Amino acid sequence: MKPDRYAVVGNPIGHSLSPSIHALFAAQTNQAMVYEARLGRPGHFAEDVRDWFRNGLHGLNVTVPFKEEAFRLADHRTARAQRAGAVNTLWAEADGTLTGDNTDGAGFLRDLSARMGLDPANRKILILGAGGATRGLLEPLLHAAPARLVIANRTPERALELVASFAGLAGATHLEASGLDTIPDGPYDLLINATAAGLGKDALNLPPGLLAATGLAYDLVYGPASRPFLDWARQQGAARVSDGLGMLVEQAAESFAAWRGIRPDTGPVLREIRQTLEAP
Ligand code: ATR
């Protein structure tokens, strides 16, 4: 029997770790599938994706810069994709229509709680950035009932918009917006960098005292792009820092589970991917 076909689309896509991650999941769970990287063509995304599924593709991951286009393309969307306003996972239904899901937020929460051992309940959390990445985190984070959740953004209006659209999910959480220069006093238990990847060293210019002595600093991106923020956090005395590689593996596992109905063990896969990434 021919293996089922999956892919990830983005632009650029050359350095994507998703093919390696899914190959490890497939081997671990004995799934007959192949997974490859495909370069997306700006302006032709929808037509290309429809073509790929017509030609037998089973499922697709979508990465930068196509997640919003994938959201518009999907015929049906899961509730969490609807909330996120973006789709990173697509699959074809029996009638050929496409369902869009978003596994980023769930992947982040799982990495945070299962690997880092941080339960957001009653904690104080600061998110830097108010773009698509932040939007994807808000529903699962609010669901976990932190005491306070501040969204700080260079353009404060975007943070305010997010607060307005998620206010209904805040429950007892104090949800608020600020500019980067008007961040309410810390200390915060969790500081998340969700601004654009690879900001220069002084780009954020954050005040001291934001992080609690036991605090965790988490950058959603991984590898060298996460270094300036994580170095800054270490200088600030962060008890722990993490890049976003665990989130990448966990969101992949969520996609894999949606496609295959089986959840891979992410621990060994994360270790192997980390070794590959750090190999000289
Ligand atoms: P994503 O989908 O990755 O979140 P995005 O929607 O383009 O991407 O959002 C990028 C985020 O990084 C925004 O919060 C942006 O701030 P603005 O809303 O003010 O543009 C933030 N960002 C990008 N470059 C930045 C910089 N040099 N300093 C501070 N924030 C920056």
Give tens-digit pLDDT for 126-164.
999 999 999 999 999 999 999 999 999 999 999 999 999
Domain with CATH 3.40.50.10860 in the chain: 4-102+246-278
Q: What is the dihedral sign for C-alpha 138, 133, 268, 39?
A: positive
Q: Ligand 1 center to residue 149 CA distance, Å?
A: 18
Domain with CATH 3.40.50.720 in the chain: 105-109+118-243
Atom of ligand 1 nearest to the CA of 67: 2
Strand 124-128, strand 76-77: pairing = unpaired
Query: In the prediction, which pLDDT does 279 show?
Result: 87
pLDDT-based confidence at 205, cuts 50/70/90? confident
Sorted by sequence, the CB contacts under 8 Å of residue 121 that are 6+ apart come out as: 144, 145, 146
- Say how far apart CA 191 and CA 46 lie, in whole Å: 36
**Ligand 1 atom 24, closest CA:** 196
**From the centroid of its chain, how far is CA 272?**
20
Atom of ligand 1 nearest to the CA of 195: 12
Residue in 273, 244, 262 with CA at minimum distance from that of residue 31: 262
**Per-residue pLDDT at 241 exceeds 70:** yes
Give strand pairing partners of 34: 5
Q: Ligand 1 center to residue 156 CA distance, Å?
A: 11
CATH for 105-109+118-243 is 3.40.50.720
Atom of ligand 1 nearest to the CA of 86: 2
**Ligand 1 atom 4, closest CA:** 131
Strand 33-39, strand 76-77: pairing = unpaired
Instruction: Supply the DSSP symbol for 74.
Output: -
Pocket of ligand 1 (CB under 6 A): 129-133, 153-155, 158, 194-196, 199, 203-204
Query: In the prediction, which pLDDT does 242 show?
Result: 98
Q: Quick one: average pLDDT of 266-279? A: 96
CATH for 4-102+246-278 is 3.40.50.10860
Q: What share of the chain is helix, strand, coil (3-state, %, to 5)?
A: 40, 25, 35
**From the centroid of its chain, how far is CA 17?**
14
Query: In the prediction, which pLDDT does 197 show?
Result: 62
Range with lowest mean pLDDT among 137-146, 199-208, 270-279: 199-208
Active-site residue, 201 included? no
Q: Ligand 1 center to residue 178 CA distance, Å?
A: 14
Q: Ligand 1 center to residue 199 CA distance, Å?
A: 9
